[in-house]
Each structure stands twice: as structure tokens, then as C-alpha cells.
Amino acid sequence: MIWIMLATLAVVFVVGFRVLTSGARKAIRRLSDRLNIDVVPVESMVDQMGKSAGDEFLRYLH
């Protein structure tokens, strides 16, 4: 019984995380497609910008 609750909790966290970060992931994927480069350098660039500047940049792209 406890394993069902733990599995449900894990699924809720994973799905919630995917839903909350879907806009950022979509913007990063679009930019990497436009630049014809891998996603990892784009994610690294956004991380280097910092929290507020990175969020503003992703909102601009989305």
C-alpha cells in the first residue's frame, strides 16, 4: 500500500515539473533548432545569464 502512495507521489512530482518547465524547454529547443546547435550549449548560456535575465530571455523567445 505504501509503495502505491510513493509511486503516485513520484509521478505527481515528475508530471508537475514537466508542466512547469515546458515553456522554457520549448523556447530552448526552438532556439537550438534556429541556430542548428545542440540543446546543451543553449541551456548553459541561459544558466550563465542568471535567474532573472535567463527568465526574461526565455519569455522573449517564447
Domain-located, residue 6: no
- What's the confidence (pLDDT) of residue 25? 85
More confident residue, 62 or 39: 39
Domain-located, residue 46: yes
Question: Can you tell me the mean pLDDT for 18-35?
Answer: 86
- Is the pLDDT score of 62 beyond 90? no
**Residues 6 or more apart whose Cβ sits within 8 Å of residue 28:** 39, 42, 43, 46, 58, 61
- Average pLDDT, whole number, for the chain? 89
Q: Are the C-beta atoms of 23 and 58 separated by less than 8 Å? A: yes
User: What DSSP state is assigned to residue 62?
Assistant: -
- What's the confidence (pLDDT) of residue 1? 86
Q: Which domain covers residue 50, as residue numbers?
A: 22-62
Q: How many domains does the chain have?
A: 1
Per-residue confidence band for 20, with pLDDT thresholds at 50, 70 and 90: confident
